[in-house]
């Protein structure tokens, strides 16, 4: 059965955890699809794991369109989620729509944008025009220079209140998913209970609607520093397929993330 926005909503309502992995090409799309991954995120993380950049900022709109097309050709069941690239959507809702429409035409079923409540007008503009949106809050990698590095967000009471408010506003604006990165598990749980749309966590504990990891991290092939929330599923597996299946099973069973992967 093809995964749609409605499928994700039903899964969250039924307590069936959503599994998501990043994906950048047709071959891995087919493998992940067959292994039962629900959502393939064509992430601007490709700037780091594919292109060797120091951040996601250099990834261009054309880069993203190319990789979305590749993944869309390989995926049969999974929903394809395309990242909106730095500088291509922040100026205005109209600019965002132009970028998002091209991603959808390339084969994405949903787009992801970073930012808090100030992106609500853009989320609403896209949603009203037929483009499902995943809102990305907490640690937003495109803001790495603003944050001064990749740091956990929402540890102070003031920041936690702000991030919770961001989630509520973005969900009310029409976001179909809310992705939370590097936030305390308690805050992620509070947000999941407070909004009516599914939540996806990465470094956000287990009490969310689903999990995402960067493919290269969960396979243990990215040479960069490993974040606390990363687990190498190739350890103990005999093939990539088995590793991906183990990841999906662990997400569904709520055994990943464990306490050691949580803030």
Give catalytic residue positions.
Answer: 181
**Terminal-residue alpha carbon distance, the chain:** 35
For the chain, what is the radius of gyration of the CA atoms?
Answer: 17
Q: According to the 3-state scheme, what is the secondary structure of the chain?
A: CCCCHHHHHHHHHHCCCEEEEECCCHHHHHHHHHCCCCEEEECCCHHHHCCCCCCCCCCCHHHHHHHHHHHHHHCCCCEEEEECCCCCCCCCHHHHHHHHHHHHHHCCCEEEEECCHHHHHHHHHHHCCCCCEEEEEECCHHHHHHHCCCCCCCCCHHHHHHHHHHHHHHHHHCCCEEEEECCCHHHHHHHHHHCCCCEEEECCCCCCCEEEECHHHHCCCCCCCCCCCCCCCCCCCCCHHHHHHHHHHHHHHCCCCCHHHCC
């Amino acid at each position: 059965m093809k995964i749609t926005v409605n499928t994700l909503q039903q899964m969250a309502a039924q307590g069936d955890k959503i599994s998501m992995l990043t994906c950048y090409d047709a071959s891995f799309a087919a493998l992940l699809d067959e292994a039962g991954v629900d959502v393939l995120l064509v992430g601007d993380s490709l700037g780091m794991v594919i292109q060797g950049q120091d951040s996601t900022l250099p990834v261009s709109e054309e880069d993203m369109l190319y990789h979305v097309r590749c993944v869309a050709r390989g995926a049969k069941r999974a929903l394809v989620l395309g990242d909106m690239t730095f500088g291509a959507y922040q100026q205005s809702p109209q600019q965002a729509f132009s970028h998002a429409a091209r991603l959808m035409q390339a084969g994405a079923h949903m787009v992801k944008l970073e930012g808090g409540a100030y992106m609500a007008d853009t989320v609403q503009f896209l949603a009203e025009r037929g483009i499902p949106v995943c809102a990305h809050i907490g640690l937003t990698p495109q803001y790495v220079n603003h944050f001064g590095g990749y740091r956990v967000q929402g540890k102070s009471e003031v920041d936690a209140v702000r991030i919770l408010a961001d989630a509520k506003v973005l969900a009310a604006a029409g976001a179909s998913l809310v992705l939370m990165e590097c936030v305390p598990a308690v805050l992620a749980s509070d947000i999941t209970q407070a909004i009516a749309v599914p939540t996806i966590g990465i470094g956000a504990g287990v009490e969310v609607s689903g999990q995402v990891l960067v493919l290269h991290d969960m396979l243990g092939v990215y040479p960069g520093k490993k974040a606390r929330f990363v687990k190498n599923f190739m350890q103990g597996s005999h093939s990539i397929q088995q590793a991906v299946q183990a990841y999906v099973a662990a997400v569904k069973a709520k055994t990943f993330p464990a306490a050691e992967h949580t803030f």
